[in-house]
Amino acid sequence: MYQTTIKKPVSLVGIGLHRGNPVNLTLEPLEANSGIVFVRRDVGVSIPLIPQNVVDTKMATVIGKDGFSISTIEHLLSAVYAYGIDNLRIVVDSDEVPVMDGSSASFCMLLDEAGTLEQDIPKRIMVIKKDIEIRDGDKYVKLSPSKDLRYDFTIKFSHPVIEHQAYVLEFTKENYKKEVARARTFGFLHEVQYLRSKGLALGGSLENAIVLDEKKVLNPEGLRFTDEFVRHKILDAIGDMSLIGMNFIGNYEALAGSHHLNHMLTLELLKDPANYEIVDIVGVKEKEYAKAYA
């Protein structure tokens, strides 16, 4: 198996969640061993996708460099990871990735349009070798060794529509597209009102998020899945963990995980090379580790 990029540039236009302004997004092919690189075309700044460039994780995963940042990258990255794309230039003309419908479905369609191109350098994956866990009270995120790749997420909210939800994704590209990609981000009406008072969430609407009042879902079409909330948390986690820099083999587990805890987990993983092994996927190993990029 070899590294991949996309066959051709593709573009879309969408609304930024926080500014509420149109954002032009273009995906461009990139040479082997380049990784994922974000570009702010409006200010001429390139930001490589590495954990050290994460500058904020309060409401979304935000990367930055030289005083410039790009917000809400996790939904796009989730799709890029699921498609096994190793090398990609992501160009925007604003400080956020467009939110689209609040899921990663639009980005999956964009990647389908772009197509995948094999390059001439072997693909590399990370094999998790030790348990790594980050805790914050009862909340935690964890990686553990496994021959498979699984995302196991549990959430608890004191809201009658959500309450306790748990979901396990046995990772393949097709499972991702079928079970996770369409799950939308969600928020509570009182939070949206507060954020707008601070000049944030100006692009948020029932078109790009599930919004709940104290008792019910306000979106007239309802939910796409009865457990759409926890499925979206898995979508987010896949995007956040892509900052490792490659696909990996291991189990991810979370109870009330967050962008912040996921970021701490990537840093903890990468700080000690004994936590992992990086493997070139060639020959017999291609079948052994296929689930990392299925």
Compute CA distances 251 → 26, 84, 92, 122, 243, whole Å. Answer: 32, 17, 32, 24, 16
Residue for token digits 């956020």? 96
Determine how β-strand 54-56 pairs with β-strand 62-65: antiparallel
Q: Is the dihedral of CA 200, 205, 208, 211 positive or negative?
A: positive
DSSP symbols for 218-272 = --TT--SSTTHHHHHHHHHHHHHHGGGSS-EEEEEEEES--HHHHHHHHHHHHT-
Q: Among the residues of 22-84, which ranges form H helices?
A: 74-82
Q: Which of 18, 75, 232, 259 is catalytic?
A: 259
Nearest Cα to Cα of residue 5 among 80, 112, 88: 88
Q: How far, in Å, CA of 231 to CA of 154, rounded? A: 10
Diameter over CA atoms, the chain:
57
Amino acid at 206: L
Q: Does 232 participate in catalysis according to the annotation?
A: no
Q: How far, in Å, CA of 183 to CA of 105, rounded? A: 8
Active-site positions read 259
